[in-house]
Structure 1
Amino acid sequence: MSEQTTTPGPDRSQRKHGTDPLLELKNLCVSFTSTTGTVEAVRDVNLTVYPGQSVAIVGESGSGKSTTAMAVIGLLPGTGKVTGGQILFEGQDITNLKEKEMVGYRGSKIGLVPQDPMSNLNPVWRIGTQIKESLKANNIVKGSEADQRVAELLSEAGLPDAERRAKQYPHEFSGGMRQRALIGMGLAARPQLLIADEPTSALDVTVQKQILDHLDGLTEELGTAVLFITHDLGLAAERAEHLVVMHRGRVVESGNSLDILRAPQHPYTKRLVKAAPSLASARIQSAQQKGVETSELLTHRSLEGREEVIRVEDLTRVFDIRGAKGDKKKLVAVDHVSFGLKKGTTLALVGESGSGKSTVANMILNLLDPTEGKVYYKGTDLSTLGNKELFEMRRKLQVVFQNPYGSLDPMYSIFRCIEEPLRVHKVGNKKQREQRVGELLDMVAMPRSTMRRFPNELSGGQRQRIAVARALALNPEVIVLDEAVSALDVLVQNQILQLLADLQERLDLSYLFITHDLAVVRQTADEIVVMQNGKLVEHNTADKLFANPQQDYTRTLIESVPGLGIELGTGEGLDG
């Protein structure tokens, strides 16, 4: 198959928007200069966006999708520059405009909602001041009208009590509120095209859904075209009419979203569709509704007759809030939660940010003391153990954290990262520890030569494999996985989930999976515990919970998974 398979002429969704393109990329090439030479990040990309249309570029980290978008708005980082091809906006070539001319397009014709709301808002300026700056930069309103317009934009972006909110600082906003403020900014000058770069990747599914619904409504009302940049195929399928798949700087497939998802042509697209958790979940749901055998897609272990390795009884944690008075001084983060984790199975603890799930995990790991309630390990009450016994217990309970970039010491070699728990627990001599590190690297499918490297030389997925190897070093029985795959691309995420499943099978491990991603849970968990505002609201096997959620909150969580409602069949035609 040719490397680039693009749809000739406009597809159905494009024809609906008229025939003159708003944005056209013709054989666009972008390069970066590094110490080792020139890196071609984008190669011969062709892409068309029509007025009012939604288009998504999907692909893994490093596929060139964000670089393509930044070239359009003239904000290429570092040494990046357009080295070939054209960028046409309303028929005008804007490829090599001088900075001063490009400013005329930025904001007023092409808006941007950047990826990370925390690093894209100035922490020392009020939210209102930052929106005012964007209004000023585009000569939209002046003087006293500006405050009124800021409040209107924040209300429009779905923030209640906008005048008060405008006076607050970014740290006083939640992630979802910050993202709404950025959407308000991006649409402040009523651009014809809005580039949304991973606009919701850091947010809970329910908040993500609210923001995307809101963005859909706003852009529909204003007639704005949207170019989504995302690695989430479910989200792309649900939100964009037209899909462009990028791999290693090239477009490998392009066309109507649902057509591509139902019948991907390129081997890379097939791999993406097969690996996407939300789409795999959609296939499981669809297969179960049709009564098709789902063992190909999912294997749940029988829970009968298995002993409980962890039991939590009436677990409660109350925090004091500094500066608050009276009733508001206490925050009940976890409120009388009870459940058990059975040996050799996976129990997922799900809920939005602030639901108390990570606090429960920290109490199980003995990193936080419960205010009330007990944690039992194989019937032993952990609160009765002395320091020496607790130290021994830590060998049995290990953890893999969310961020593979923050959980490995950058000053330690990979060998030292994995060897450390062995050394701390005085396991073996130097030679035996070296042999054990080699075995652990084999287990997580990493070459033994990796032990001489440092974390910054590895990708996110490779680092997470090292974190898993370190967690396995002391032969634990229970591993707590705290959002362990949420920071990874879909293909890498799929590899790590597969690795965890294989290790569980081989070593009879028990997993406590902390996550807000129900699509991942659908594939991995035997049992699911749903938490909301510190309380346990539902507990069931994965199949029963998805087939028949008892609580409205659980139903909302499931319905918010992007792409879960897309009818995909059971994965036929996805080999490749």
Structure 2
Amino acid sequence: MTDTTVQTSASGRPLADPSKPLVQVKDLEVTFKTGTGDVHAVRGVSFDIYPGETVAIVGESGSGKSTTATALIKLLAGNGRISGGKVLVEGKDITGYSERQMASVRGGVIGYVPQDPMSNLNPVWSVGFQVREAIRANGVASGRKDIQAKAIEVLQQAGLADAERRMEQYPHQFSGGMRQRVLIGIGLGADPKLLIADEPTSALDVTVQKVILDHLESLTRELNTALLLITHDLGLAAERASKLIVMHRGRIVESGDSLEILQHPQHPYTKQLIAAAPSLASRRIHSSTGAAVTEGVDAIDMLKLAVKHEDTEAVIEAAPVMVSVKDLRKTYSIRRGGFKSEPLHAVDGISFEIHKGTTLALVGESGSGKSTAARLVLGLEPPTEGEIVVGGQNMAGASAKQLFDLRRRMQVVFQDPYASLDPQRSIGAIIAEPLKVHGVGDRVSRHARVEELLEQVALPTELAHRYPNELSGGQRQRVAIARALALKPEVVVLDEAVSALDVLVQAQILQLLADLQEELGLTYLFITHDLAVVRVVADAVAVMEQGKIVEAGPTDEIFENAQQPYTQRLLDAIPGAGIEFGN
């Protein structure tokens, strides 16, 4: 008599046969209909995903990786269609499935975590309502209490520690990282057999990223859940995926074992990706236009060219202080129900200095207070206590006119190049706006300045007549940088300015920032959670935890000899930190 016992996972779900592919993609073609004709976004893509396997797809923006992922669950944009090939899910071709048939696939068989947490959460519904609706729709739980309990559980699994207390808050009350965790919770809510995660941790700091990825890894082990990661982080792909697929212009150019590909790449495009990826082994980027500069030193002035590495700190100290922050505090009053409230110390007595022509990176986990500190420095919010001096001007005692004039000397580049540009204005109008606001020049001179700025950020001047939706993410971020430079500022605050970009574009933007810093003598305050980027862009680092600076110093010193356990924990959490990539 044969044994018919069915093996089950920890959640009681029958385990799939590990020898049979869960998903088979065969010669997949995806076409988008546009005003200028058909665009073939995916061309002849084939791969298999087995139960419990983690597969990563990497490539630059426009390579077709996200389009391939959304084709697996038929969530393409309205003008897109699967124009060829097959997608077999548990042996059944779903390319001809109706929306009703797809409802049985989405959620329970294939879960999906989209990339943009703000546009994928409804702003008028509470977070708890949206999670409960997903659980109810997937039939994971029934009954009000069970659904509520499951909603809290999946959010806690996704790294939202105080899930029960925050269930009735709205998306705008969450940070970008917290909204991303909500989407991950929704994606995991139905215990899917395959979870497609499109840049699931791009908005998260490294420690929360590690928590999320550890949890996803435990799912693949305990529930036999397969994971398809769409990412531009090669360290993450190397550390978490067993199989790697490299896409370029809609085609797979290389695929196989992750470590084998990343340590011994064969295709020129893969080699290009690896060369562009920042890592802990990287060193400070220098201007590509000037003479070679000593390792670890960025040019403040020509004197630096003659300075040895060990004298870097002394040279930076000798430069004048451009931004000085002393005992800065920002306290918010948080409502706790009824008429009760309690203080939240977002920034709690921090002090730092940024010398002219240098870059200070402010790093820390989500909620550490780094973005709040940046808003205070920019004068977008008033501090509760403390002193901010920019270029000798104390912001606390400044009149409205003095603050207005000070804004000419300080500009900001935001994280999201899609949200920070007005879609209804041309590129030229967007870049010229600060000039008009501050009454600089006439129409002819402003037009000339726009062309000059476009050339400065390595964009063709013809783009002045185009609109943001006609540009790639990297081009939009260059436009945002051009706008920030329009008034010839002395200080530029970069708030997660490269975290939304793929490695090739990121490398171009970081090099551009280094070139502009040397050419114009700019001072940067760089807000980021990506410590690998910090290594290549910053002269000094200040590490924030719960509103306080717990460690600060030159970049090399912090990375090579961190004193605080918190700093060491951040460094240890960087994906792929111990993996040496090939070339």
Asked if Structure 1 and Structure 2 have the same fold, meaning a TM-score greater than 0.5 normalized by the shorter chain, the answer is yes
Matched, 1:54 2:67: no
Aligned to 1:262: 263
- Tell me the CA shift for residue 43 of structure 1: 0.6
> What is the one-letter code of the residue matched to 1:400?
V
> What is the one-letter code of the residue matched to 1:86?
K
- Tell me the CA shift for residue 213 of structure 1: 0.7
2:431 is aligned, of 401, 414, 418, to 418
Q: Secondary structure at the match of 1:537?
A: strand
- Tell me the CA shift for residue 105 of structure 1: 2.9
Aligned to 1:552: 565
Q: Secondary structure at the match of 2:372?
A: helix
1:142-291 equivalences under 5 Å are 142-143=142-143, 146-147=146-147, 153=154, 157=158, 179-277=180-278, 280-283=279-282
Between the aligned partners of 1:410 and 1:68, the Cα distance in structure 2 is: 27
Aligned to 2:70: 70
Between the aligned partners of 2:134 and 2:90, the Cα distance in structure 1 is: 23
CA change 1:219–1:126 in 2 (3 A) is farther
CA change 1:181–1:317 in 2 (3 A) is closer
CA contact (8 A) 1:135 1:146 kept: no
CA change 1:26–1:296 in 2 (3 A) is farther
CA contact (8 A) 2:53 2:220 kept: no
Aligned to 2:308: none
Aligned to 1:89: 89
Q: Which deviates the most, 146-155 or 520-529?
A: 146-155
> What is the one-letter code of the residue matched to 2:34?
S
Aligned to 1:307: 320
CA contact (8 A) 2:159 2:208 kept: no
TM-score by length of 2: 0.84
> What is the one-letter code of the residue matched to 1:72?
L
- Tell me the CA shift for residue 117 of structure 1: 4.0
Cα displacement string for residues 212-251 of structure 1 (whole angstroms, at most 9, x for unaligned residues):
1111112211111111112222211111010001112111
Aligned to 2:384: 371
CA change 1:161–1:382 in 2 (3 A) is closer
Q: Secondary structure at the match of 1:456?
A: helix
Between the aligned partners of 2:136 and 2:227, the Cα distance in structure 1 is: 23
> What is the one-letter code of the residue matched to 1:357?
K
Cα displacement string for residues 11-44 of structure 1 (whole angstroms, at most 9, x for unaligned residues):
xxxxxx9543222211111112223222211110
Between the aligned partners of 1:46 and 1:528, the Cα distance in structure 2 is: 44
2:538 is aligned, of 522, 525, 529, to 525
TM-score by length of 1: 0.85
Q: Secondary structure at the match of 1:112?
A: strand
1:501 is aligned, of 506, 510, 514, to 514
- Tell me the CA shift for residue 300 of structure 1: 4.4
CA change 1:149–1:64 in 2 (3 A) is same
Q: Secondary structure at the match of 2:425?
A: coil
Q: Which deviates the most, 342-351 or 313-322?
A: 313-322
**Paired residues, what number?**
544
1:97-112 equivalences under 5 Å are 97-112=97-112
Aligned to 2:31: 31
- Tell me the CA shift for residue 456 of structure 1: 3.1
CA change 1:456–1:197 in 2 (3 A) is closer
1:471-482 equivalences under 5 Å are 471-482=484-495
CA change 1:30–1:295 in 2 (3 A) is same
Matched, 1:403 2:416: yes
Between the aligned partners of 1:136 and 1:201, the Cα distance in structure 2 is: 28
Aligned to 2:479: 466
CA contact (8 A) 2:180 2:203 kept: no
Between the aligned partners of 2:557 and 2:205, the Cα distance in structure 1 is: 23
CA change 1:238–1:333 in 2 (3 A) is same
> What is the one-letter code of the residue matched to 1:337?
I
Aligned to 1:511: 524
CA contact (8 A) 1:123 1:171 kept: yes
Q: Secondary structure at the match of 1:96?
A: coil
- Tell me the CA shift for residue 129 of structure 1: 5.7
1:330-409 equivalences under 5 Å are 330-409=343-422
CA change 1:117–1:378 in 2 (3 A) is closer
CA contact (8 A) 1:21 1:90 kept: yes
CA change 1:410–1:157 in 2 (3 A) is closer
Between the aligned partners of 1:486 and 1:190, the Cα distance in structure 2 is: 29
Q: Secondary structure at the match of 2:272?
A: helix
Between the aligned partners of 2:30 and 2:508, the Cα distance in structure 1 is: 30
CA change 1:284–1:395 in 2 (3 A) is closer
> What is the one-letter code of the residue matched to 1:505?
E
Q: Which deviates the most, 512-521 or 297-306?
A: 297-306
Gaps of 5+ in 1: 1-16, 286-293
CA contact (8 A) 2:335 2:341 kept: no
CA change 1:43–1:395 in 2 (3 A) is same
Q: Which deviates the most, 100-109 or 343-352?
A: 100-109
**Percent identity of equivalent pairs:** 59
Between the aligned partners of 1:156 and 1:471, the Cα distance in structure 2 is: 40
Between the aligned partners of 1:55 and 1:494, the Cα distance in structure 2 is: 25
> What is the one-letter code of the residue matched to 1:76?
L
- Tell me the CA shift for residue 401 of structure 1: 2.2
CA change 1:253–1:310 in 2 (3 A) is same
CA change 1:247–1:376 in 2 (3 A) is same
CA contact (8 A) 1:176 1:208 kept: no
Cα displacement string for residues 507-537 of structure 1 (whole angstroms, at most 9, x for unaligned residues):
2221111222212111100001111121111
